[in-house]
């Protein structure tokens, strides 16, 4: 199967699972991802302090419904896990509709869609349903059942590492806590898997983090605080499969290398660059001021930017194989630039070195149509002062990064460059 | 009386007085201002060295006129003090019109208006009149009288101080040396009084300086040189009442906090921002390179920008109560921002602190309509690195300063912030 | 003869000489230049190491042709030295047209023009001709003769120095290696001569370098490496006479003083400012990262920017006296600014000094039409903090540089300024 259909199949397979920030849905998700990538799965016990937070109790759910007087399920977890507010406490009771309403969530402006709601840190229960369904419910008493458990257990996250030539790391982070929502974030998971599978002997070590949003990233950061300075670049992947064009949200730093690389690889595609905001996905944590990592976020239509966002409309039909392939392709281009970008020092910085003597320059002079390859060498030599990266050089020269990188390779082979200190 | 009419009444009451850089007109002006505000009046003796200057002799005038052969006053100080060149030396003589003309100043392009002229540092005398009046004077001999005195005395200026929570100061400076010119600068004086009366327990100490232009500001600077580093911000108020829109002229630094604050509070009104120039009002002195204070200048139509500028056309009708209220309102907004703007350090900078646990965050997740208050808290936490001010945060977040300040208050109360060192 | 025709006559006189990077054509060129300017001519022996290069063998040529079976010269060096590839090795042979073609260079898209080609560092021979001539050659055998010598000798370059008040130098560099090409670079040579003749007691020492391109500049840099820190500013002059408008190419630094000065003097003329590229003329060498001198390049139509570039179309008709005069005028304006630009420190920086007392300020106040001269003095005083140059002041004030310089002169005379350290 080619990459696009393969990623879409993965999205569809993960779709029915009831994920949350803890519990078996996350484990099942990671088990399926683990069929494609070797994963190291971490279980962090309830109560573990992580930065300013504490790992919460584990939530699992077997069934949930609201049934009418006749016993018919009018809201049914088995139809869609979105029907239950995430982390709902167990309940078995009968209530008149008026009281039940206080536990029901709808989208009056999108009456056919079921919203996605959670209540991780305030113990309550609730159901989500279409406004049209609510409108059709007659008064009367209803049976309410949430067959869930909230108990000490653990928070589950996983890593996949592709070793690089250096220990410096690039992290690719995708949240795995949303239940039946396809674009947010099963598409991000699928594209991350596709990227991991495409890496061959990279320069940097690439670490893929599949963790629940917020608390998962916080847990990962807490457990990796001592080695966080290895993280040189990173990207948070979300909403990677809808049919909109790509959006890159800069890191808090605004001009980190990842920001420059993403802007560069997106330059010839329809795209939007957004400034950092401390709202959105787990870039919130990676870019908190104490860490301030060079981590941006790549999405197609961004956070909360499409009408199906956080509703039952975010199903596998919203995600297209072609869009996921496009997201993956941009990431692969970004990896190619990130991995090859380097700063050099010209070892013959006084005047131009004689390239012709080294076979690097046309012997016939006078022509005004200098080849790109020669121009690229002159640019690399001129800017190889330890300050300018190859990407800086490509942008300033208006030459493709690949030409500039090839020029640097030729000059390295000729002994004219060394790595910048 | 409401603020607008009250300020306009003050302008009208001050209008007839014959002010100059010294003399009883200044004292009478300060006495009237002192009916509204407690003032400390300073008298600096003639001959006192002040920076590169020396306090000049004091000038006072009782009467002045040019009379024709019949004894009729054709130019009369009693009609308008603008008719006499400021600091005219005493004279009592008879002259033919041809010789008299050398002492007469008109505006040929504005034939109905009387110009404002002074000669502080070159001893001479002169009269100002409408070109149309001059054109109507028949040849012949005229009697000339200037009943003035130039004698050792003092230069007078006054201060009003509103003590703040800190000794760091904001100075508000208005020149008080112009005779019957309403917008320049009785409106500035009236708005300064209005601002002083509106201050209640401010953070900064606010010092209002009512002093003659140039020599007065120089005298104030000379006498306060040892404590000038207390002056953190300042604004020169002039032309505060005409019907044009507001103009802010930046300090010499160009991006001092006062510049940022004024640009921020003006953003939603018709306004113009001008770069600093070493010409205009007393910002020339405060922004001389040795002091280089963060002092900008707020006017409506700026210096020399309206046809009535420095003419008899600048009378109380040129000034509107509504315009003075608008100027005052902008200043009050600026004070509110200046006084609350601060830099903080996030005490929980690694990841986001758990706001929900502290009652600062909605417990129901999944919704995409984050409240401004929550957004503001996230922004403050993210930028509380000791480098960004609350105003920086408000501008970057696109949130109202008041929301950002309220967020900082909530975070301070929760123990999540401390003052930046 | 006025300057324009005089410069054009010099171009026409130099045009027929067969210049290359070494040889008698360069010596004859410098001898003619030397009739106008005293030159120090340097001969650097073949084999001398210069930076990464080595001075090559000297090339001289007496005759060269391709003759048909009847003995008629179908390509003749005596008609134009462009017909022979520069540095062609000697050859005397007979070849069929098919084999001869491998040594022939044409411009198929400009069939009437003869291209300019060289092969300095790869030993070969070749002829350049119009495509139309080539098309007219019948098959058959041709006699080929290149009567040249490549032998140990020397590389020739020359300097003309106009001593300044300081030892800091401005270099003006023009390449002298192109054969019969008028705009590139006989016009540059002529304008450089015109500029040298116009200098009278300059502030900086002006050093004019007439050297072959690339290897000549490299040789000059190699021999002056120990004193290169005297070079404060510089300009490479090329293509100085075509009818296009002026183009200034910034130094590698991008904002060196020469860049600021050239942009300033060009501001009111049609012109283009280009960013630095490591391709073009000898700015490539002066701006190599080890030297990184403040050297820009002034041309009219830039490098490779006109259809006659490096072809027989670049003849004296392409060059106009008026254009050369215009280039010269801009250079003279640039020299005037460069030579007068200085940073000062205000000796009375607290408040404005009392200019009136020193006779520098109008005594009659109240008028809003301050004279430019007074404004210029206020600006100079305000920005004389040791950081801002007079050019900075002129640009920020929007006043002519000459007014600002005159103000600085007056303030210096009044003892109000000193040189910045």
pLDDT at B264: 98
Name chain C contacts of B52, Cβ cutoff 8 Å: 348, 350-354
Does C178 belong to an annotated binding site?
yes
Residue of B nearest to C346 (CA): B289
CA pair distance B360, B124, nearest whole angstrom: 72
Residue of C nearest to B177 (CA): C366
pLDDT at A369: 55
Q: Where are the alpha helices (DSSP H) in C51-90?
A: none
pLDDT at B342: 97
Contacting subunits of C (3+ beta carbon pairs below 8 A): A, B
pLDDT at C68: 96
Cβ <8 Å between B353 and A289: no
Which residues are CB-neighbours of B203 under 8 A, at least 6 positions away? B164, B165, B166, B338, B339, B340
| DSSP symbols for A161-210 | EE--SSS-EEEEEEE---SS-IIIIIIHHHHHHHHHHH--S-SSEEEEEE
Which DSSP letter does residue B247 get? E
Specify whether domain A343-419 bears CATH 3.20.20.60.
no
Residue with tokens 């939007």: A272
Top-tier CATH class for B3-56+154-339: alpha beta
The answer to whether residue B416 scores a pLDDT higher than 60 is yes
Q: Nearest-CA distance from A356 to chain C in Å?
A: 7
Q: Do B294 and B255 touch, CB atoms closer than 8 A? A: no
Domain boundaries, chain A: 3-56+154-339, 58-151, 343-419
Cβ <8 Å between B349 and A53: no
Which of A48, A49, A51, A52 to probe by mutation at the B interface, max B CB count within 10 Å?
Answer: A52
Name chain B contacts of A124, Cβ cutoff 8 Å: 363
**Chain centroid to CA A128: how far?**
26
SS3 C176: coil
Top-tier CATH class for C3-56+168-339: alpha beta
pLDDT digits (tens, 9 = 90+) for A231-267: 999 999 999 999 999 999 999 999 999 999 999 999 9
First to last CA, chain B: 46
Of B120, B121, B218, the CB nearest to C351: B218
Cβ <8 Å between C310 and A356: no
What CATH architecture does domain B341-419 belong to? Answer: Orthogonal Bundle (1.10)
Q: Nearest-CA distance from C260 to chain B in Å?
A: 21
Percentage above 90 pLDDT, chain B:
95
pLDDT band at B369 (very low <50, low <70, confident <90, very high): low
Q: Do B210 and B191 touch, CB atoms closer than 8 A? A: no
CA pair distance C356, B120, nearest whole angstrom: 10
The answer to whether residue B121 scores a pLDDT higher than 90 is no
pLDDT at A270: 97
pLDDT digits (tens, 9 = 90+) for C178-211: 999 999 999 999 999 999 999 999 999 999 999 9
Edge-to-edge strand ranges of the sheet holding C58-67? C73-76, C58-67, C141-151, C91-96
pLDDT at B367: 64
Which DSSP letter does residue C90 get? P
CA pair distance A26, A175, nearest whole angstrom: 10
Cβ <8 Å between A121 and B363: yes
Q: What Rg, from alpha-carbon coordinates, does chain A have?
A: 26
Which of B349, B351, B363 to probe by mutation at the A interface, max A CB count within 10 Å?
Answer: B351
Specify whether domain B59-151 bears CATH 3.50.30.90.
yes
| DSSP symbols for B48-86 | -EETTEE---EEEEEEEEEE-TTS-EEEETTT-GGGB-B
The answer to whether residue A105 scores a pLDDT higher than 60 is yes
CA pair distance C329, C322, nearest whole angstrom: 10
The dihedral sign for the CA sequence A310, A312, A317, A321? positive
Instruction: Kindly give the parts of chain C with pLDDT less than 50.
Output: none
Cβ <8 Å between C115 and A366: yes
The answer to whether residue A368 scores a pLDDT higher than 60 is no
Which of C346, C365, C415, C420 to probe by mutation at the B interface, max B CB count within 10 Å?
Answer: C365
Q: Mean pLDDT, to the nearest integer, of B186-208? A: 98
Q: Mean pLDDT, to the nearest integer, of A378-391? A: 97
SS3 A150: strand
Rounded to 5 degrees, what are φ and ψ at A159?
-130, 145
pLDDT digits (tens, 9 = 90+) for B259-299: 999 999 999 999 999 999 999 999 999 999 999 999 999 99
Q: Mean pLDDT, to the nearest integer, of A341-368? A: 88
pLDDT at A337: 98
Residue B260 is encoded by which pair of tokens?
């940022």
Q: What is the mean pLDDT of chain A?
A: 96
Cβ <8 Å between B351 and A116: no
| DSSP symbols for A67-114 | E-TTS-EEEETTT-GGGB-BTPPPEEEEEEHHHHGGGEE--TTSTT--
pLDDT at B372: 83
The answer to whether residue A66 scores a pLDDT higher than 90 is yes
CA pair distance C100, B171, nearest whole angstrom: 88
Cβ <8 Å between B118 and C352: no
Q: Where are the alpha helices (DSSP H) in B35-172?
A: 97-100, 131-136
pLDDT at C368: 56
Residue A81: count other Cβ atoms within 10 Å of its Cβ.
22
CA pair distance B285, C301, nearest whole angstrom: 49
Residues of C in CB contact (< 8 Å) with A are: 51-53, 85-86, 115-122, 124, 214, 217-218, 221-222, 225, 252, 275, 277-279, 284-285, 287-292, 303-304, 309-310
Q: Do A40 and A211 touch, CB atoms closer than 8 A? A: no
Residue of C nearest to A349 (CA): C290
Q: Which of B207, B234, B216 is nearest to B175 (CA)?
A: B216
Q: Do A159 and A42 touch, CB atoms closer than 8 A? A: yes
Name chain A contacts of C173, Cβ cutoff 8 Å: none
Name chain A contacts of B384, Cβ cutoff 8 Å: 289
pLDDT band at A370 (very low <50, low <70, confident <90, very high): low
pLDDT at A1: 81
Name chain C contacts of A356, Cβ cutoff 8 Å: 121-122
Q: Nearest-CA distance from B114 to chain C in Å?
A: 12
Name chain B contacts of C366, Cβ cutoff 8 Å: 86, 115-118, 310
Residue C51 is encoded by which pair of tokens?
């930076």
CA pair distance A409, C183, nearest whole angstrom: 38
Name chain C contacts of B119, Cβ cutoff 8 Å: 363-365
**Chain centroid to CA C249: how far?**
12
CA pair distance B55, B45, nearest whole angstrom: 7
Rounded to 5 degrees, what are φ and ψ at C345?
-120, 125
Q: Nearest-CA distance from B112 to chain A in Å?
A: 58
Query: What pairing do the DSSP bridges indicate for beta strands B205-211 and B154-162?
Result: antiparallel
Rounded to 5 degrees, what are φ and ψ at C67?
-120, 150
| DSSP symbols for A345-397 | EESS-SS---TGGGT-S-S-BS-S---HHHHHHHHHHHHTEEEEEHHHHHHHH
Cβ <8 Å between A348 and C52: yes
CA pair distance C68, A150, nearest whole angstrom: 102
Specify whether domain A58-151 bears CATH 3.50.30.90.
yes
Q: Which helix (H) or strand (E) holds C378?
A: helix C372-383
Q: Which of A90, A35, A223, A59 is nearest to A155 (CA)?
A: A59
Contacting subunits of A (3+ beta carbon pairs below 8 A): B, C
Query: What pairing do the DSSP bridges indicate for beta strands B127-128 and B104-105?
Result: parallel
Q: Mean pLDDT, to the nearest integer, of B171-196? A: 98
Residue B343 is encoded by which pair of tokens?
């830099």
Edge-to-edge strand ranges of the sheet holding A73-76? A73-76, A58-67, A141-151, A91-96
Paired with C50 in beta bridges are C53
**What Å distances lie between residue B152 and A228, B47, B86, B126, CA to CA?**
75, 8, 17, 22
CA pair distance A155, A4, nearest whole angstrom: 31
Q: What's the CA dihedral at B393, B396, B398, B403 to 10 degrees?
A: 0
- What is the greatest pairwise CA distance in chain C? 94
Of B351, B363, B383, the CB nearest to A51: B351
Residue of B nearest to A251 (CA): B382
CA pair distance C388, B27, nearest whole angstrom: 42
pLDDT digits (tens, 9 = 90+) for A289-308: 999 999 999 999 999 999 99
């Amino acid at each position: 199967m080619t990459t696009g259909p393969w990623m879409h199949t993965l999205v569809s397979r993960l779709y029915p699972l009831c994920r949350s920030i803890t519990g078996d849905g996350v484990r099942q998700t990671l088990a399926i991802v683990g069929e494609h990538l070797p994963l190291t799965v971490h279980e962090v016990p309830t109560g573990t302090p992580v930065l300013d937070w504490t790992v919460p109790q584990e939530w699992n759910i077997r069934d949930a419904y609201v049934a009418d007087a006749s016993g018919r399920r009018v809201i049914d977890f088995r139809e869609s896990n979105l029907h239950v507010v995430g982390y709902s406490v167990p309940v078995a009771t009968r209530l008149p509709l008026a009281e039940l309403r206080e536990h029901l969530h709808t989208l009056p402006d999108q009456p056919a869609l079921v919203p996605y709601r959670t209540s991780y840190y305030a113990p309550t229960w609730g159901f989500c349903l279409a406004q049209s369904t609510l409108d059709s419910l007659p008064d009367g008493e209803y049976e309410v059942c949430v067959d869930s458990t909230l108990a000490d257990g653990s928070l589950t996250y996983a890593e996949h590492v592709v070793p690089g030539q250096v220990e410096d790391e690039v992290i690719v982070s995708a949240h795995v806590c949303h239940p039946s929502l396809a674009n947010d974030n099963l598409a991000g998971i699928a594209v991350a898997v596709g990227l991991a599978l495409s890496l061959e002997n990279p320069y940097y070590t690439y670490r893929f983090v599949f963790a629940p949003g917020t608390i998962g990233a916080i847990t990962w950061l807490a457990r990796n605080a001592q080695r966080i300075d290895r993280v040189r670049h990173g990207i948070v992947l979300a909403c990677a499969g809808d049919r909109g064009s790509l959006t890159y949200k800069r890191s808090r730093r605004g001009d980190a290398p990842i920001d420059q690389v993403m802007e560069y690889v997106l330059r010839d595609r329809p795209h939007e660059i957004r400034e950092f905001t401390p709202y959105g996905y787990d870039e919130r944590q990676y870019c908190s001021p104490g860490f301030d990592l060079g981590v941006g976020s790549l999405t197609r239509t961004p956070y909360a930017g499409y009408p199906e966002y956080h509703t039952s409309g975010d199903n596998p039909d919203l995600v297209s194989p072609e869009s996921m392939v496009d997201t993956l392709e941009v990431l692969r281009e970004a990896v190619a630039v990130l991995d090859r970008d380097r700063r050099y020092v010209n070892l013959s910085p006084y005047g131009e070195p004689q390239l012709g003597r080294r076979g690097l320059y046309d012997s016939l002079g006078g022509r005004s149509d200098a080849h790109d390859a020669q121009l690229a060498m002159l640019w690399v030599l001129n800017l190889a002062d330890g300050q300018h990266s190859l990407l800086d050089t490509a942008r300033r020269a208006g030459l493709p990064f690949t030409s500039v990188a090839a020029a640097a390779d030729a000059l390295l082979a000729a002994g004219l460059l060394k790595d910048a200190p």
